[in-house]
């Protein structure tokens, strides 16, 4: 069964719904019509652009170019991880921590899936590698930034408690452990919620897309299950790596709590 | 006089250099206005903030010990106490409940507070429990930052009595206080901190 291809006219009809939103905004004085227009235009331009980029990269079919694109996506994700937390490290530490955690988690899970489950020929075929890396990145980015935000926020809040433990001669590792645990927990919650709600509250996007594209629902479900496993693994890895890296960066060889390495502006 | 705690050329980017020679069983009291660097000095000795210079405890240099081992012997008690679980007693080793209770009673703390949530304690109660937490393992040096700051007169007397008793058994105390009378009562040596430097009063 082939997917039903959309024509520009089909899309224009759907675009009238955006006009409806804008009209609502004007009628109800929501003052959102400008934002709606800008967001809708951005969405269309960005998606069309990425469509062309993907088509181009698929046609090249060059592993180095595929890798380059994936690394660029990781850098953008790392920037998000770095920028979201309320508290930040001085300098580029946030970005480095974000890149290492997100990159590591994405590589590990994506390569595992490509070499053991999906198994395209060759395994780095951009048709599979790039969308897969993209989905994993989106989730992993979320986990990593939640974990980092939770960790840096709680370190700041719990400073007295951590230093009290250090003063009594406890190891830094021990004094910081509850905060690291809490940060990892925080990073894992969204994927747990997503898994529990899948199929009841939400029909996950990938599955819906594949069903619309003509795939048998059970085949689509299998894909979605695989993906959920990948996402939970990726979330766990990135939450773990980001929390431990941040904890390690906040101490030194004399096991001090180095809050001076966080920037002063909150 | 044999030095228990010896501080040589100790400095950081904010304070120092400091020299100090504190005998066994002695108390050095430091007064000085807020922000003059008194707490920084204690934190540097405890190695809680980056610093340079030497600190010796009974002829052993700080750098030859791990930081936790050092802090177990040279224990800092901050002016604002920190707590990491819900109940008071959970901050003490499980097998030392009776000793904690005895010390609490000596400092005028109700024994039922041992099982109370931290959130129910007043600042003064928390301050005394944090002192008990520090003296219980019997460290040879105590670095006390305003240990009686939030306390009423009667509690101050009790805390000072406990500190004198510790000194009699050989503990050395470096005491930061706002109260010049307390500095006079407890300090064998007295200093004033001004703009990150120790001065004789």
Is any Cβ of chain B less than 8 angstroms from the Cβ of A22? no
Q: Which residues of A touch B81 (CB under 8 A)?
A: 160, 164
Is any Cβ of chain A less than 8 angstroms from the Cβ of B72? yes
Provide the pLDDT confidence category of residue A265 given band limits of 50, 70 and 90: low
Question: Mean pLDDT, chain A, as a whole number?
Answer: 92
Q: Which residues of B touch A254 (CB under 8 A)?
A: 47, 67
- How confident is the model over A150-190, as pLDDT tens digits? 999 999 999 999 999 999 999 999 999 999 999 999 999 99
Give the integer Cα–Cα distance in Å for A134 and A75: 12
- How confident is the model over A79-105, as pLDDT tens digits? 989 988 888 999 899 999 999 999 999
Q: Which residues of B touch A170 (CB under 8 A)?
A: 68
Helix, strand, coil shares, percent, chain B, to 5: 40, 25, 35
Is any Cβ of chain B less than 8 angstroms from the Cβ of A170? yes
Count of residues making up chain B: 201
Do the Cβ atoms of B130 and A164 come within 8 Å?
yes
- How confident is the model over A110-145, as pLDDT tens digits? 999 999 988 998 888 999 999 999 999 999 999 999
Is any Cβ of chain B less than 8 angstroms from the Cβ of A257? yes
Do the Cβ atoms of B75 and A169 come within 8 Å?
yes
How far lies A129's CA from each of A110, A225, B14, B132, B197, in Å? 7, 18, 53, 60, 63
**What is the radius of gyration, based on Cα positions, of chain B?**
16
Q: ipTM for the complex? A: 0.94
Which residues, including other chains, have CB under 8 Å from residue B176's CB and lie 6 or more apart? B29, B30, B31, B38, B39, B41, B42, B79, B144, B145, B146
Q: List the CATH number of the domain containing B175.
A: 3.40.50.300
Beta strands in B58-102 (DSSP E): 60-61, 74-77
Residue B108 lies in a domain: no
Do the Cβ atoms of A256 and B75 come within 8 Å?
no
**Within 13 Å, how many C-alpha atoms sit on residue B113's CB side?**
21
Residue with tokens 């106490």, as numbered in its chain:
B81
Q: Greatest CA separation found in chain A?
A: 72
Which has more confidence, A201 or B184?
B184
- How confident is the model over B33-48, as pLDDT tens digits? 888 899 999 999 999 9
The pLDDT assigned to A264 comes to 67
Helix-then-strand count for chain B, H and E: 6, 10
Strand order in the sheet with B18-23: B18-23, B3-11, B52-57, B60-61
CB pairs A-B closer than 8 Å: 69
**Within 13 Å, how many C-alpha atoms sit on residue A252's CB side?**
12
pLDDT greater than 80 at residue B126: yes
- How confident is the model over B48-87, as pLDDT tens digits? 999 999 999 998 999 999 999 999 999 999 999 999 999 9
Do the Cβ atoms of A164 and B78 come within 8 Å?
yes
Domain span at residue B161 reads 3-81+140-199
- How confident is the model over A203-253, as pLDDT tens digits? 788 888 888 888 899 999 998 999 999 999 999 999 999 999 999 999 999
Mean pLDDT calculated for residue range A47-65: 93
Give the integer Cα–Cα distance in Å for B72 and A46: 59
Domain total of chain B: 1
Do the Cβ atoms of B134 and A160 come within 8 Å?
no
Query: Residue B113 gets which letter from DSSP?
Result: G
Nearest CB among A160, A178, A257 relative to B78 is that of: A160
């Amino acid at each position: 069964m082939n997917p039903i291809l959309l024509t520009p006219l089909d899309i224009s009809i759907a675009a009238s719904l955006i006009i409806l939103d804008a009209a609502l905004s004007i009628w109800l004085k929501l003052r959102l019509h400008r934002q709606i227009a800008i967001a809708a235009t951005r969405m269309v331009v960005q998606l069309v652009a990425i469509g062309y980029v993907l088509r181009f990269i698929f046609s090249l079919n060059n592993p180095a170019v595929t890798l380059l694109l994936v690394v660029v996506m990781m850098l953008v994700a790392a920037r998000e991880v770095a920028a979201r937390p309320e508290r930040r490290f001085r300098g580029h530490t946030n970005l480095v921590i974000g890149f290492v955690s997100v990159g590591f988690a994405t590589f590990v899970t994506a390569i595992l899936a490509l070499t053991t489950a999906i198994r395209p020929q060759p395994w780095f075929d951009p048709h599979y590698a790039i969308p897969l890396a993209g989905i994993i990145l989106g989730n992993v980015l979320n986990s990593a930034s939640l974990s980092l935000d939770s960790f840096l926020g709680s370190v700041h809040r719990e400073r007295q408690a951590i230093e009290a433990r250090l003063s009594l001669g406890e190891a830094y590792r021990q004094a910081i452990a509850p905060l690291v645990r809490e940060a990892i927990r925080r990073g894992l919650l969204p994927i747990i919620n997503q898994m529990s709600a899948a199929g009841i509250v939400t029909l996950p996007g990938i599955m819906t897309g594949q069903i619309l594209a003509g795939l048998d629902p059970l085949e689509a479900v299998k894909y979605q299950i695989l993906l959920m496993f990948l996402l939970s693994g990726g979330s766990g890895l990135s939450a773990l790596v980001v929390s431990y890296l941040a904890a390690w960066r906040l101490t030194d060889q004399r096991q001090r709590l180095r809050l001076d390495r966080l920037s002063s502006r909150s | 006089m044999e030095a228990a705690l010896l501080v040589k050329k100790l400095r950081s980017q904010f304070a120092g250099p400091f020299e100090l020679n504190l005998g066994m069983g002695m108390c050095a009291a430091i007064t000085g206005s807020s922000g003059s660097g008194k707490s920084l000095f204690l934190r540097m000795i405890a190695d809680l903030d980056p610093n340079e210079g030497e600190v010796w405890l009974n002829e052993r240099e700080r750098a030859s010990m791990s930081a936790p081992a050092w802090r177990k012997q040279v224990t800092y008690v901050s002016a604002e106490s920190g707590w990491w679980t819900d109940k008071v007693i959970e901050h003490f080793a499980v097998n030392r409940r009776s000793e904690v209770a005895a010390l609490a009673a000596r400092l005028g703390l109700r024994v039922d507070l041992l099982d109370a949530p931290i959130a129910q304690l007043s600042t003064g109660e928390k301050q005394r429990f944090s002192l008990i937490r520090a003296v219980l393992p019997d460290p040879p040096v105590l670095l006390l930052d305003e240990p009686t700051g939030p306390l009423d007169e009667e509690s101050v007397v009790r805390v000072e009595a406990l500190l004198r008793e510790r000194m009699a058994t050989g503990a050395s105390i470096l005491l930061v206080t706002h109260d010049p009378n307390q500095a006079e009562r407890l300090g064998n040596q007295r200093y004033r901190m001004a703009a990150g430097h120790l001065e004789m009063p």
